[in-house]
Amino acid sequence: MIGGRGLPATYGGVERHIEEIGARLVERGHEVTVYCRPHYTVRDSGSSYRGMRLVVLPGIASKHLDALSHTAVAAAHAAKQGFDIVHYHAVGPGLISPLSRATGRGAVVLTVHGLDFGREKWGLGARLALQASARLSAYVPDRTIVVAEGLREHYRDSYGVETSYVPNGVTLPANDPDEGLRDLTELGVKPDDYLLSVGRLVPEKGHHLLVDAFGALPADARPQLVIVGGDSFTGGYVRELTEQAQALPDVHLPGFLYGDALQAAYANARLFVQSSTLEGMPLTVLEAAAYSRPLVLSDIPVHRQLLGSDRPGGRLFTSGDSASLSAALERALRDPEAEAAGGRQVGAELLDRFSWEKTVDGTLDAYAQAMEARGATRAPDRPRLGARRRARRAGRPGAELH
């Protein structure tokens, strides 16, 4: 696995995706190696996490070169390992995928988690590079995976390429949600009396829009607002958002929350709000749904895919429109009992539709297709994917997925 920041996943949907599918691949008998960046991963190179081997390699920790430089070093290292699959994650790191295609014996797979060239933090040069990388992601890998139906349509319409649709998963909460309440109570936030938004503090997440819409609600009838997240090479935006939030005493920016504290934030929120103008398949929305939280989401394609239409427990508003968001919040706050019941219904639907086991099934299918596409370069005596799995079950030696 190449392209993520590393493990254990603390923030970032790509890292969580890698952790969840990688651990389940290990459980199914495969060997998984994850390349990590030293400023994100606290473990030593060569150590193991949830059965996955971690390889920590350096890069240039800057806004424009962090992902690209680390991916290049990782790809050079991977080329010497004899992996069966080299799996890139995200469009930007995929710019390096031709190196793996040219130098490695294994098949190359790339998962598109979103159209990164649309993110507002990038300047013109970075956008052009990411657009070029998006085109490469359609043609260079032996198989391209997308996490949302809208992305599948984009690759079909823009590049004439059929991709594997493998969405993110979600699991039922395992921890006691009250264990992390201390972090919220220290802010003066009471359970079931706050709106929650979770995500990196970057312009396309629309947190500035959310603060505007929240401020337009009647002050005597609104709960508090908690925005969980931190800087992602967006210091200027974070400063502006902080100044905007300081004008409203019931808006809190606690930074990143992890583990029990984050789970408690989900479990005790009255509503979960996602005001993004751009998403792939948002794990934060699925995680909030797993706690049966009523959702208020922008009407971008992936959110419409999740909710279908505006209804109790699943409110939609016009993306980028603070007045529409404020109206959606008013609808969601008007009848707490009906909204809570709708949140439970929406959560049950999404838990039924999305699971990490289904994600792993789809990933393995994409691996098999990628290896089939590479069949002409495979050694004649090298068993195919299904044969290796059957050999392992029978106790016979066989190569494993890396």
Among 89-103, 116-130, 138-152, the range scoring the smallest mean pLDDT is: 116-130
DSSP string, 24-62: HHHHTT---EEEE-TTT--SPTT-EETTEEEEE-----S
Q: Which of 280, 274, 298, 300 is nearest to 117 (CA)?
A: 280
Measured in degrees and rounded to the nearest 5, phi and psi for residue 97 equal -60, -30
Domains of the chain (ranges; CATH) run: 13-169+356-393 (3.40.50.2000), 182-353 (3.40.50.2000)
Measured in degrees and rounded to the nearest 5, phi and psi for residue 36 equal -130, 155
- Checking if the pLDDT of 121 tops 60, the result is no
Residue 215 parent element (H or E) = helix 207-215
Among 44-48, 158-162, 271-275, 310-314, the range scoring the smallest mean pLDDT is: 44-48
- Segment 281-287 shows an average pLDDT of 94
Among 111-125, 206-220, 357-371, the range scoring the smallest mean pLDDT is: 111-125
- For residues 343 and 61, the model is more confident at 343
Position 394 scores a pLDDT of 44
Position 120 scores a pLDDT of 56
- Segment 31-60 shows an average pLDDT of 91
Q: How many alpha carbons lie under 13 Å from residue 334 in its C-beta half-sphere?
A: 11
- Checking if the pLDDT of 59 tops 90, the result is no
Instruction: Count the neighbouring beta carbons within 10 Å of the beta carbon of residue 120.
Output: 14
- Checking if the pLDDT of 234 tops 80, the result is no
pLDDT band at residue 132, thresholds of 50, 70 and 90? confident
- For residues 116 and 92, the model is more confident at 92
- Checking if the pLDDT of 60 tops 60, the result is yes
- For residues 201 and 66, the model is more confident at 201
- Checking if the pLDDT of 219 tops 50, the result is yes
Tallying the residues shown for the chain, one arrives at: 402
Among 83-87, 117-121, 159-163, 349-353, the range scoring the smallest mean pLDDT is: 117-121
Mean pLDDT of the chain: 87
Q: Long-range contacts for 66-72 (Cβ within 8 Å, ≥24 apart)?
A: 66/37, 66/233, 67/3, 67/92, 67/93, 68/92, 68/93, 68/95, 68/96, 70/35, 70/37, 71/2, 71/3, 71/35, 71/95, 71/96, 72/96, 72/99
Amino acid present at 272:
F
pLDDT band at residue 63, thresholds of 50, 70 and 90? low
Range with top average pLDDT, 51-65, 232-246, 351-365: 351-365
Among 3-12, 61-70, 164-173, the range scoring the smallest mean pLDDT is: 61-70
Instruction: Give the tokens for residue 72.
Output: 């290049």
pLDDT band at residue 64, thresholds of 50, 70 and 90? low
Query: What is the SS3 assignment for 80?
Result: coil
- Segment 39-49 shows an average pLDDT of 86
- For residues 147 and 383, the model is more confident at 147
pLDDT band at residue 125, thresholds of 50, 70 and 90? low
Position 331 scores a pLDDT of 96
Model pLDDT for residues 288-331, shown as the tens digit of each residue: 999 999 999 999 999 999 999 999 999 999 999 999 999 999 99
The DSSP secondary-structure symbol of 147 reads: S
Position 300 scores a pLDDT of 94
Model pLDDT for residues 332-389, shown as the tens digit of each residue: 999 999 999 999 999 999 999 999 999 999 999 999 999 999 874 443 333 344 444 4
